[in-house]
C-alpha cells in the first residue's frame, strides 16, 4: 500500500512540475491553446509532424479576432503576436524590452558557434553589430559585384548544360544553393569554392551538413530547451565548429593574418581584431543611477569563426530558398515569367549584355518578383524575440515577465487576405511603388525590422536578383512532371524553412 501511495505522490509531483506555468495566460486573460504536461503545445513538433512556422500559423488563423494568442513551449509561455502595431512596438519602438532573440537556452554557457550576430543577445550582439555594419555599405556592395557577376556566369553555364537537348529536370533548390555558396565563398572568404562545377565541393558539403536534418541533433535541441541547466555544456555544433575554425585558420595563414585588400568579410574580421577591444554602452547592465555600464568585447579567433559560420550559413540558405521558390512560382505563372524575361533582355541590351551593378538595380520588376516569392514562402517563417524585463501591453491590459518568448508568425502574416488581397495569387505588382502600402511595413517581414533586421538585406537582394537574371536570360522554367505545385515545408524545419524533396523544375534553353 505504501508503494502505491508513494507512486501516486510521485506522479502528482511530476504532473505539477510538467504543468507548473500552464496557468500563465489564463491569469492574464489571454486567449490560448490548451497545453499538454511537459510538452506544452509542441507535441506535433516533437513528433516531427509540424514545424514552428506551421504551428504558429495554425494558431494565427485559429483565432482571427485576437491581437495576441498564448501558447507554451514546454512549460515556457510564448506569445504569438497578430497585430501590426504591436509587432512594430516589439521590433522597433520598445526594442530595448525585446532585444534578445532568446535562441540560447542557457544564457551563461553559449555554444561558441552561436556567439554570432544572429544568435547572440545583449551586449555581444550590439558590439558585433557596431563593428560589422560597415561591411554592407553601398560602396562595399558595388565593389564586390564583379565577384557576383563571375558566379552568375558560372550559374548560366551549369543551367545551360542541364537545359541542352530540349530541357531537363533540375532541383532548383540545389542549383541556387550552389550559386550562393560560390558567391559567399568568393565575396566572404576570398575562396573559389567551385560548388557550381564540383559536386563534392567542400563548401557545398558544409552547407548541407549545417542544414541537413539530424534526428540526434533535433532531440538534443528539444532536451536542451526542456532541461537547460542539466544539458548546458552539450554542443550541438561541435563537428561544424571544428570545420569552420580549421577553414578560418587556413585563410588567415594564407593572408599572413593581415587584410588582403579584397575588402571581403574575412578582411573586415581581421580589421576588427586589429582595432582592438570593441567598447560601447551596455544594453544589459546599468549602474545604480540608471546610466549604462561599459561593455567590452575582444574579437578572438573563436568569435571570428562564429561570424564566419553565420555569414556563410544564413547567406546561402536564405538566398537559395528565396530564389528557388521564386523560380517555382515563375514556372507556374508563365505570363509573369515572360514579363520578367522581357525586362532582363531589355536592361542587359542597354549594358552590352553584361550583368553589372547598375543593370541589376534597374531590374525593378524582377526585384518585385523576388519579393513576391518571399511573401508567399519566406525563408524565415517566423521571427522570435524574448522579453528582457517586465513589459506591459497597456492596450491589452496585461504584462509579461522576463523570459517570455514572442513569436511573430511571418508566414501567416504574408498570406493573410486582410493585408494581401487574394494571397494565393502570385502578383509581383504588389510591390510596385503605387501598390505597396505603408501599413504593410510591419506585416511584410522577410528580413525582419528594426535594430535586429537582417544586416545583409541589400546584399541578399542584389545577389538573388543577379542569380535570377542570369537564369532567365538564357532559360525558361516550367513545372516538373509529378512535382507538387507548392514545395512542402519540412516538418522538422527550424528557423529557416527547408523543403521536402527540393524544388524540381524543367529548364529549357530560350530561343
Binding residues for heme: 454
What stretch of H or E contains 73?
strand 68-73
- Return the sign of the alpha-carbon dihedral for residues 390, 391, 394, 399: negative
Number of Cβ within a 10 Å radius of residue 393: 20
The radius of gyration of the chain's CA atoms, rounded to the nearest angstrom, is: 24
The answer to whether the CB of 234 falls within 8 A of the CB of 109 is no
Chain centre distance of CA 457: 11
Contacts of 149 (CB under 8 A, 6+ apart): 354, 355, 356, 466
In this structure, the chain runs to a length of 511
The answer to whether the CB of 117 falls within 8 A of the CB of 310 is yes
Q: How far apart are CA 153 and CA 170, in angstroms?
A: 18
Number of Cβ within a 10 Å radius of residue 338: 13
Binding residues: 454
CA distance to 71, 80, 305, 402, per residue, from 388 (Å)? 19, 17, 27, 5
Enter the C-alpha cell of residue 350: 542597354
Strands (E), 356-397: 383-386, 391-393
Residue 300 CB burial class (10 angstroms; 0-12, 13-18, ≥19): exposed
The answer to whether the CB of 179 falls within 8 A of the CB of 320 is yes
Residue with cell 541556387: 176
Please report, to the nearest 10 degrees, the dihedral formed by the alpha carbons of residues 85, 88, 89, 94 taken in order. Answer: -170
DSSP 8-state code for residue 212: S
Strands (E), 82-199: 168-171
- Looking at beta carbons, which pairs linking 396-403 to residues 24 or more positions away fall under 8 Å? 396/30, 396/67, 396/68, 397/29, 398/28, 398/29, 398/30, 399/28, 400/28, 400/77, 400/79, 403/76, 403/102
Residue with cell 511595413: 441
Q: First-to-last CA distance in the chain?
A: 86
Residues facing 405 on adjacent strands: 78, 386
CA distance to 135, 227, 249, 437, per residue, from 455 (Å)? 9, 32, 25, 23
Amino acid at each position: 500500500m505504501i508503494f502505491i501511495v508513494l507512486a501516486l505522490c510521485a506522479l502528482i509531483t511530476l504532473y505539477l512540475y510538467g504543468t507548473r506555468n500552464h496557468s500563465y495566460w489564463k491569469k492574464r486573460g489571454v486567449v490560448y491553446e490548451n497545453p499538454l504536461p511537459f510538452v506544452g503545445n509542441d507535441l506535433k513538433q516533437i513528433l516531427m509532424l509540424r514545424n514552428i512556422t506551421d504551428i504558429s500559423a495554425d494558431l494565427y488563423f485559429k483565432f482571427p479576432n485576437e491581437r495576441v494568442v498564448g501558447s507554451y513551449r514546454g512549460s515556457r509561455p510564448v506569445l504569438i503576436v497578430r497585430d501590426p502595431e504591436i509587432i512594430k512596438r516589439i521590433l522597433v519602438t520598445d526594442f530595448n524590452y525585446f532585444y534578445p532573440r532568446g535562441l540560447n537556452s542557457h544564457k551563461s554557457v553559449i555554444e561558441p558557434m552561436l556567439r554570432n550576430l544572429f544568435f547572440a543577445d545583449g551586449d555581444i550582439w550590439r558590439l558585433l553589430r557596431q563593428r560589422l555594419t560597415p561591411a554592407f555599405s553601398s560602396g562595399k556592395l558595388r565593389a564586390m559585384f564583379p565577384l557576383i557577376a563571375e558566379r552568375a556566369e558560372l550559374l548560366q553555364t551549369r543551367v545551360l548544360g542541364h537545359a541542352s537537348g530540349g530541357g531537363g529536370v533540375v532541383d532548383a533548390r540545389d542549383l541556387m544553393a550552389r550559386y550562393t555558396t560560390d558567391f559567399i565563398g568568393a565575396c566572404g572568404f576570398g575562396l573559389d569554392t567551385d560548388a557550381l562545377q564540383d559536386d563534392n565541393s567542400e563548401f557545398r558539403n558544409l552547407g548541407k551538413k549545417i542544414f541537413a536534418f539530424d534526428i540526434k541533433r533535433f532531440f538534443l535541441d528539444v532536451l536542451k530547451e526542456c532541461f537547460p541547466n542539466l544539458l548546458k555544456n552539450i554542443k550541438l555544433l561541435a563537428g561544424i565548429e571544428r570545420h569552420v575554425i580549421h577553414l578560418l585558420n587556413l585563410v588567415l595563414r594564407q593572408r599572413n593574418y593581415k587584410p588582403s585588400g579584397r575588402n571581403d568579410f574575412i578582411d573586415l574580421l581581421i580589421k576588427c581584431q586589429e582595432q582592438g577591444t570593441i567598447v560601447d554602452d551596455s544594453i544589459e547592465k546599468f549602474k545604480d543611477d540608471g546610466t549604462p555600464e561599459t561593455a567590452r568585447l575582444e574579437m578572438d579567433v573563436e568569435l571570428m569563426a562564429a561570424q564566419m559560420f553565420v555569414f556563410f550559413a544564413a547567406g546561402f540558405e536564405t538566398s537559395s530558398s528565396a530564389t528557388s521558390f521564386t523560380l517555382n512560382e515563375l514556372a507556374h505563372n508563365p505570363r509573369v515569367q515572360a514579363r520578367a524575361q522581357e525586362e532582363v533582355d531589355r536592361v542587359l541590351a542597354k549594358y552590352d549584355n553584361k550583368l553589372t551593378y547598375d543593370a541589376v538595380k534597374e531590374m525593378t520588376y524582377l526585384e518585385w518578383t523576388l519579393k513576391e516569392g518571399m511573401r508567399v514562402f519566406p525563408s524565415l517563417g517566423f521571427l522570435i524575440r524574448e522579453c528582457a524585463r517586465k513589459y506591459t501591453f497597456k492596450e491589452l491590459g496585461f504584462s509579461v515577465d522576463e523570459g517570455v518568448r514572442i513569436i511573430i508568425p511571418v508566414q501567416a502574416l504574408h498570406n493573410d487576405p486582410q493585408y494581401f488581397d487574394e494571397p494565393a495569387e502570385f502578383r509581383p505588382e504588389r510591390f510596385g511603388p503605387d501598390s505597396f502600402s505603408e501599413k504593410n511595413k510591419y506585416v511584410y517581414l522577410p528580413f525582419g525590422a528594426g535594430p535586429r533586421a537582417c544586416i545583409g538585406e541589400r546584399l541578399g537582394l542584389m545577389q538573388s536578383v543577379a542569380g535570377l537574371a542570369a537564369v532567365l536570360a538564357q532559360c525558361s522554367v516550367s513545372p516538373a512532371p509529378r512535382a507538387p505545385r507548392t514545395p512542402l515545408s519540412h516538418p522538422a524545419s527550424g528557423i529557416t524553412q527547408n523543403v521536402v524533396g527540393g524544388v524540381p523544375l524543367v529548364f529549357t534553353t530560350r530561343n
